[in-house]
C-alpha cells in the first residue's frame, strides 16, 4: 500500500550523524538558491518558497573528528525507507571533503557515470554543486559524441525552389504549409473529438427510389421551388431527433470544489441542424437554427443561404458554432460511406453516401433501385445501440416511404 504524502512527511526516519548546525544552515541556504523547483516540498526540512513542510531531520552532535556513520534505525517501515531514500539530506564520501545535498545533482552524476568521490565541490564547505558535475559531464559527452560519429553519407539533392530535404525519408520537400486559420481550428476540434468522445458507428443501406421519384414529380410540377434531396433527408433527421432526443444533446463536465468532476447530459428544446459544407477555406459546418420547426422547402432555402455565406467567408460565430447535430452529405464526393468524426461538442453525426443504381430485392424479385448508405456515428456515453439503431432505422424508413412520413409531419 502507498502511504499518503502527509503520513510520509510526519513519519519517523533514522537519524544519521550530524554536521555542525552552522554548516547545515549554510548548505540549506545554498540548496534553496540552486534548486528552485517550484512550490511544494522537495526535501523534508528544505521546503521551497511557499511550501508548508517544516519537519527537519535532526542528528546527535558528534566530534568533527569522528567517522561519519549512520545510527541503525529501529522498526523502520517500507514507506519510511522509501522516504529516507528520497529525502537524504547529505551524502558524505569517506575520505573526501565534498558533500552533496541536492537529489538532482546526485541523479545527474549517476545518469552520466560521474564519481562524486573524485570531485571537489565549489560550494560552502566543499559542497558539490550542479556546475561541478556539469563541468565533468560536458567534456566527456563531447568526447563520446566524437567517438561514435556516424560515417557521413551523401545527402539527397534538395528540390529546386525549397532547398530542403526531409531528414527521415531523404526526399526533397516541395512545399511547406502552416496549419493556421480555419484549418487549425478544424484540426483542434477534430483532435478533441477523437480524444474525448468514445464513439461508435452503425450503418444501413437504404432504397431511396421512392424519394428520388417523389422529388422528380414535385420538380416536374414546380421546377423552381422543389427542395433538394438533402433538404428532405434533413426533415427526416429532425423528426427522428424528436423521437430519439438522446442524440440531440451535449455532455457538460463540471469540476467541484473538492477537485473532482461530474458529467451531465444536457437535452435541448429544439434542433440546430449542422451540415458539412466544403469551401475554399476548408470544411465548414454552419447550422440551421430551429431546424425542427421548418418544412422541407424552408430547410432547402436556409441550407442554400448558409452554403453561400460560408463560401463567401461571411458566416457568423453563431451560424458556425451553434449546432446540436450534424448531417454530412459526402455522397457529392462520389463515395458511399465514411466513419465520420463527431463535430465536438455534439454527440452524433449522420453521413449520406452517393445514390446509385444497385441490384435490390423487391417483393421477392430482383430489381435495379436507387440505393444509398446511411452511416451514424454517435457518442456511446449518451446512448446505446438500441437508441442509435432506432434513430437510424427511422430515417431509413422515411427515405424508403417518404409520402407516408411527410404526411405525418
Bridge partners for 326 per DSSP? 274, 349
For 169, which DSSP code? T
Residues 204, 398 contacting (CB under 8 angstroms): no
Residues 116, 106 contacting (CB under 8 angstroms): yes
Bridge partners for 369 per DSSP? 358
Task: Select from 16, 9, 17, 11 the least CA-distant residue to 80.
Answer: 11
Instruction: Tell me the three state secondary structure of residue 192.
Output: helix
Alpha carbons 382 and 379: distance in angstroms, whole number: 6
Please pick, among 112, 224, 225, 380, the residue that the annotation labels catalytic: 380
For 124, which DSSP code? G
Alpha carbons 155 and 165: distance in angstroms, whole number: 8
Torsion of CA 221, 225, 230, 235, to 10 degrees: -90
Helix (H) or strand (E) holding 78: helix 78-86
Task: Select from 401, 384, 383, 385 the least CA-distant residue to 248.
Answer: 383
Alpha carbons 309 and 316: distance in angstroms, whole number: 9
Residues 391, 240 contacting (CB under 8 angstroms): yes
Alpha carbons 104 and 176: distance in angstroms, whole number: 41
Bridge partners for 282 per DSSP? 279
Catalytic residue list contains 224 = no
Alpha carbons 91 and 105: distance in angstroms, whole number: 11
Alpha carbons 242 and 395: distance in angstroms, whole number: 12
Residues forming the active site = 380
Amino acid at each position: 500500500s502507498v502511504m499518503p504524502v502527509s503520513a510520509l512527511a510526519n513519519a519517523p526516519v533514522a537519524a544519521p550523524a550530524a554536521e555542525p548546525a552552522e554548516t547545515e544552515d549554510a548548505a540549506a541556504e545554498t540548496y534553496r538558491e540552486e534548486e528552485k523547483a517550484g512550490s511544494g516540498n522537495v526535501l523534508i526540512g528544505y521546503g521551497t518558497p511557499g511550501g508548508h513542510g517544516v519537519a527537519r531531520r535532526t542528528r546527535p552532535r558528534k566530534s568533527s573528528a569522528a567517522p561519519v556513520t549512520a545510527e541503525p534505525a529501529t522498526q523502520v517501515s517500507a514507506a519510511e525507507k522509501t522516504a529516507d531514500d528520497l529525502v537524504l539530506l547529505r551524502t558524505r564520501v569517506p575520505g573526501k571533503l565534498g558533500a552533496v545535498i541536492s537529489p538532482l545533482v546526485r541523479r545527474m552524476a549517476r545518469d552520466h557515470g560521474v564519481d562524486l568521490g573524485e570531485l571537489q565541490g565549489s560550494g560552502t564547505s566543499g559542497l558539490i554543486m550542479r556546475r561541478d558535475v556539469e563541468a565533468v559531464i560536458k567534456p566527456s559527452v563531447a568526447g563520446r559524441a566524437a567517438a561514435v560519429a556516424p560515417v557521413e553519407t551523401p545527402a539527397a539533392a534538395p528540390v529546386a525552389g525549397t532547398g530542403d530535404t526531409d531528414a527521415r525519408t531523404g526526399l526533397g520537400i516541395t512545399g511547406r504549409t502552416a496549419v493556421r486559420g480555419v484549418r487549425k481550428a478544424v484540426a483542434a476540434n477534430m483532435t478533441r473529438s477523437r480524444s474525448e468522445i468514445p464513439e461508435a458507428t452503425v450503418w444501413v443501406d437504404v432504397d431511396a427510389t421512392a424519394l428520388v421519384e417523389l422529388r422528380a414529380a414535385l420538380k416536374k410540377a414546380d421546377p423552381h421551388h422543389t427542395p433538394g434531396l438533402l433538404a428532405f433527408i434533413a426533415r427526416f433527421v429532425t423528426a427522428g431527433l424528436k423521437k430519439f432526443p438522446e442524440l440531440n444533446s451535449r455532455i457538460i463536465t463540471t469540476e467541484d470544489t473538492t477537485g473532482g468532476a461530474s458529467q451531465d447530459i444536457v437535452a435541448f428544446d429544439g434542433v440546430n441542424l449542422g451540415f458539412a459544407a466544403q469551401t475554399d477555406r476548408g470544411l465548414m459546418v454552419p447550422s440551421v437554427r430551429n431546424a425542427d420547426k421548418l418544412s422541407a422547402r424552408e430547410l432547402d432555402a436556409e441550407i442554400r443561404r448558409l452554403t453561400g455565406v460560408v463560401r463567401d467567408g461571411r458566416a457568423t460565430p453563431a451560424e458556425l458554432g451553434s449546432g446540436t447535430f450534424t448531417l454530412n452529405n459526402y455522397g457529392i464526393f462520389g463515395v458511399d460511406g465514411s466513419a465520420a468524426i463527431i463535430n465536438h461538442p455534439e454527440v452524433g453525426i449522420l453521413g449520406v453516401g452517393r445514390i446509385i443504381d444497385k441490384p435490390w430485392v423487391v417483393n421477392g424479385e430482383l430489381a435495379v433501385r436507387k440505393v444509398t448508405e446511411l452511416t451514424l456515428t454517435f457518442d456511446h456515453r449518451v446512448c446505446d445501440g438500441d437508441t442509435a439503431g432506432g434513430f437510424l432505422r427511422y430515417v431509413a424508413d422515411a427515405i424508403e416511404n417518404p409520402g407516408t412520413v411527410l404526411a405525418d409531419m
